[in-house]
Amino acid sequence: MILNPANTAFGSSMFRVGTIYRNQWSTVSNGYNSYLLSFEVMPYKNRVRRDGIGLGINFMADVAGSLNYGQQNIGLSLSYFKALDINRDHYISFGFIGNTSSWGYNLSNSIFGRYPQDNEGILLNNIRTYDFGLGAHWQINVNGTHYLQAGTSLLHLNQPNLSYYENSDIFLPIKFNLYVSDLIIINFDHSITPSLFFQKQRKYNEFVFGLDYNINVSQTSINQQILSIGTYYRTLDAIIVMAKYKKNDIGFGISYDINISRLTPASKSYGAVEIWLLYSFNPYGYKRSKTSIPCPTF
């Protein structure tokens, strides 16, 4: 949902709740701490028309450095998805997200160069922005051996003002996301998921690629358990190692970034650690069927 609002509530469950914590560059001036809590619901699904609507809300916070600089964000997202074939093996979805963010820092911890302190002309220590984004997602089941999916999104389309000087030339640039993934079934117990991610925001680019190796460790067909391990490379920045475990409707995982950029002398190769938990559920005794929508996973 954060990567692409078209993924909001898109899957086989009516409800989905998730949380993430990430700590990055803690060896460099207290580093970054990021928190996320999300909730998604599918209020409408029509089996005849083979379409549906998803709604989501997320609460996100970033806090960095000794100034506790960062943002607190609330995002509301909406998606519409539709099957393009009778067997529901081919889907397309579209999404919209609107955000309101509070950006600021702890003024009492600030030290300015001029005396007496006049904040060096900075007029504000807290500002609020409003922005919106759009996204599209596509996926297809190819003969039960490949689950191809791809998507793109454009965020901060209105480029809100982000200046503590009330300078209109300082704004939040448009962010472009693109991803491609393929779940390749090797046999009943083994599969791999190669993925590619690209992000661009003004002159800054991020390119990440790698794969997960998935092992079915289920003891019975009712008690489904999947263990995944993965390795990814963020170009010129980090090697990412990851492990995930999913048991029925509950999934959790951990990833670790090994920093290999020019920041290594300060970071001591420590990039980031990230942990997450995701719970999907269907109330009222609703059971999944062959027509359930496969949830896009990365």
Q: For 5-281, which CATH superfamily applies?
A: monomeric porin ompg (2.40.160.40)
pLDDT of 289 above 60: no
Maximum mean pLDDT: which of 18-22, 214-218, 258-262: 18-22
Cis amide prior to 265 (ω within 30 degrees): no
pLDDT for 158? 97
Q: 27: pLDDT confidence band, cut at 50, 70 and 90?
A: confident
Q: What are the residue ranges spanned by the domains of the chain?
A: 5-281
Count the alpha carbons within 13 Å of 272 in the hemisphere toward its beta carbon.
19
**pLDDT given for residue 295 in this prediction:** 60
Q: What pLDDT was estimated at residue 165?
A: 83
Tens digits of residue pLDDT in 114-155: 666 667 767 788 999 999 999 999 999 998 899 999 999 999
Lowest mean pLDDT among 97-101, 242-246, 285-289: 285-289
Q: Considering only CA atoms, which of 138, 188, 160, 198 is closest in space to residue 71?
A: 160
What pLDDT, on the 0 to 100 scale, is given for residue 294? Answer: 60
What is the rounded average pLDDT of the residues 185-191? 92
Indicate the pLDDT class of residue 267, thresholds 50, 70 and 90.
Answer: confident
pTM summary value: 0.89
For the stretch 189-236, pLDDT in tens is 999 999 999 999 999 999 999 999 999 998 777 788 999 999 999 999
pLDDT at 144: 87
Contact 110, 102 (CB under 8 A): no
Tens digit of each residue's pLDDT (9 = 90 or more) over 269-283: 889 999 999 999 988
The tens digit of pLDDT for each residue in 34-76 reads 999 999 999 999 989 999 999 999 999 999 988 889 999 999 9
Token pair listed for 182: 């393929």
| Cβ(91)–Cβ(139) below 8 Å | yes
